[in-house]
Amino acid sequence: MSSIISVKDVSKTYSRDSFSIPVLNNLSLEVDEGDFLALMGPSGSGKTTLLNLIAGIDKPTSGAITVGGTDISKLNESALAKWRAQSIGFVFQFYNLIPVLTAFENVELPLLLAPLSKSERKKHVETALNVVGLDDRMDHYPKQLSGGQEQRVAIARAIVTDPLLLVADEPTGDLDKNSADEILTLLDRLNKEFKKTIIMVTHDPHAAEKARITRNLDKGYLV
């Protein structure tokens, strides 16, 4: 199994006024293709920062991050934005759906940047909504869906471009237990059946049980 993600000696420090706030300290991590990794740790441990660095949302202060053979720490902002659109599927705690768009239109959004015809986009969207079990809700607006259904729409949007990597930041944090279990089962299926590499930030041990590997962060260090 080959590494799809290589984090080498990465540190991240934020500056505020004259203060420097170290968040990650000389951290290294390898993730193999097809892995399902849970990042755990107390609030402020740096797990979301690490997720954002791997997803190309933020840049390390020092060190190198390679994802799918691309050293993303060397990309400029426009190249990084293009890389993110092609390579990363994002799942957020609060879904980040656009309320005035239907489920279909929300899932279609990432494809509007791709060189696809309208009929090709339709096929991709219908396939993604079918995978998450919501093909019968594609004309519904977010307010007409339960929290669990909204998160499934968000997952459909994350997978519609067939990304290299799925990153999920507390994907069950806003859900009741039944809905959370459905989302975790779906992520497990995406990993096992569709061979998606997934990194999930969570503080919930029950959620982490679905992952194949769990790594803990504490004060910027992997422990």
Residue 171 backbone class (left: φ over 0; alpha: ψ -120 to 50; beta: rest): alpha
Residue tagged 């799918």 (tokens): 68
Confidence category of residue 159, pLDDT binned at 50, 70, 90: very high
Q: Residues 166, 169, 174, 177: is their CA dihedral positive or negative?
A: positive
Q: How confident is the model at residue 122 (pLDDT cuts 50, 70, 90)?
A: very high
Does residue 150 register a pLDDT over 90? yes
Average pLDDT over residues 21-26: 89
pLDDT of residue 117: 87
Placement of tokens 């809905």 in the chain: 179
Query: 3-217: which CATH number, 3.40.50.620, 3.50.50.60, 3.40.640.10, 3.40.50.300?
Result: 3.40.50.300
CA 36 to chain centre: 11
Contacts of 43 (CB under 8 A, 6+ apart): 203
Supply the pLDDT for residue 1: 59
Q: How much is the mean pLDDT over the chain?
A: 91
pTM: 0.89
**Per DSSP, what are the bridge partners of residue 19?**
16
**pLDDT surpasses 70 at 20:** yes
Residue 37 predicted with pLDDT over 90: yes
Residue 154's nearest CA partner among 207, 166, 86 is: 166
